[in-house]
Structure 1
Amino acid sequence: MTPLPEEQWDDAMRDALSPLLSEDRRNSRDAGNVLATLLRHPDLTRGYLHFNAHLLLNSTLSPRIREVALLRAVHLRGCDYLWDHHIAIAERAGVTAADLDRIRAGDSSDAVDRLVVATVDEIDRSHTLADDTWMRLREFFDERQILDLLFTVGCYQSLAVAVNVLAIAPEHP
């Protein structure tokens, strides 16, 4: 599927972007190719963006931990689009170029980042978490943070699959 051209957007489609984008940003440039493609199903877009907006804007995780988790998740799904899209966001959250290389490699020099990467890998591999992983997570995160972590990983695994299946092209190749 291709992004829906902005001249075909109606008010309901623009409104579907409202959970994540302010009114002045509800355009094809700010929506990007992912959201412009999802607008082919406005109800799905609205529902997904409510969920995604929580993870991006209201999560109990720090922006750095959120980005470490989602970057590892999209890397494991082979989704270059989302990896590239989140580099600038991750950098603003304090993730360095060296950190990015370690996330790709499945490692980190930081103990919490390393735990997050290992957690994403375990979820990806076994679709669950061992008791030992739960205990380690509880050393650093409370219950709400663990839930936000699990749903961040799942959300971005799912989005990465959709982006890959739909063959969504980067905005600036």
Structure 2
Amino acid sequence: MALLSPLPAELWDEDVDAALKGLMPRHMRNPEQAGTAMATLVHHPELTKAFLGFSVHLLFRSTLPARLRELVILRVAALHDCSYEREHHIEIARTEAGLTPDEIAAAVDGSAEDPFEQRLLDSVRELTETSRLSEETWTALSEHLTTKQLMDLIFTVGGYSLMAMAYNTFGIEFEDER
């Protein structure tokens, strides 16, 4: 049961349009095309606009390579049991980051064949459980990641954890379930 349903079409106004402007083209800034998550978030246009600016960085401007970013997001979604986030990023992982179905399933489960990718997935769990990376983990990750990439990693885990909390609390439904 959704605690917060998508904003009804008759309540979409200039503020809602402005909130979505930085993320999607004009033809998609409506309740039918925006998707259930965005259509729900726009109950609070100012918050949505502020948060989407951050989210755009995480998804489109992050210094993390797409493959690593999607491994991290898939693991975050699994740890927070957020099916909406997980299913949307399975598609992105496959089409934009080139992950195979087996790699996607392994990332969701928290495993990877590559030792660095395993350390990366373990860091997601560490951040989620302790809200910090140990010096050992930071040092190991810094052998492969720059300081900016490490920062993007931490903010990706935090940002997608926040989205998972919101989506799970609001009861965001898949578009085909509406």
TM-score (norm 1): 0.95
In the alignment, the residues of structure 1 paired with residue 9 and residue 62 of structure 2 have an alpha-carbon distance, to the nearest angstrom, of: 30
Question: What does residue range 7-156 of structure 1 map to in structure 2 within 5 Å?
Answer: 7-92=10-95, 93-156=97-160
Query: Sequence identity, in percent?
Result: 38
Hey, what does 2:172 align to over in structure 1? 168
* Structure 1: gaps spanning 5 or more residues: none
In the alignment, the residues of structure 2 paired with residue 147 and residue 66 of structure 1 have an alpha-carbon distance, to the nearest angstrom, of: 12
In the alignment, the residues of structure 2 paired with residue 90 and residue 7 of structure 1 have an alpha-carbon distance, to the nearest angstrom, of: 35
Moved more, 111-120 or 138-147: 111-120
SS in 2 for 1:29: coil
SS in 1 for 2:143: helix
SS in 1 for 2:33: helix
In the alignment, the residues of structure 2 paired with residue 29 and residue 49 of structure 1 have an alpha-carbon distance, to the nearest angstrom, of: 19
* Structure 2: gaps spanning 5 or more residues: none
Cα deviation, residue 114, structure 1: 1.2
Q: Which amino acid aligns with 1:64?
A: R
In the alignment, the residues of structure 2 paired with residue 153 and residue 124 of structure 1 have an alpha-carbon distance, to the nearest angstrom, of: 8
Equivalenced residue count is 173
TM-score (norm 2): 0.93
1:114-169 CA distance string (max 9 Å, x none) = 12101101111211111110111101100111111100000000110110011111
In the alignment, the residues of structure 1 paired with residue 93 and residue 31 of structure 2 have an alpha-carbon distance, to the nearest angstrom, of: 23
Moved more, 45-54 or 107-116: 107-116
Q: Which amino acid aligns with 1:88?
A: E
In the alignment, the residues of structure 2 paired with residue 112 and residue 126 of structure 1 have an alpha-carbon distance, to the nearest angstrom, of: 20
1:82-118 CA distance string (max 9 Å, x none) = 1011111010211111011211221101233212101
C-alpha RMSD of the superposition: 1.1
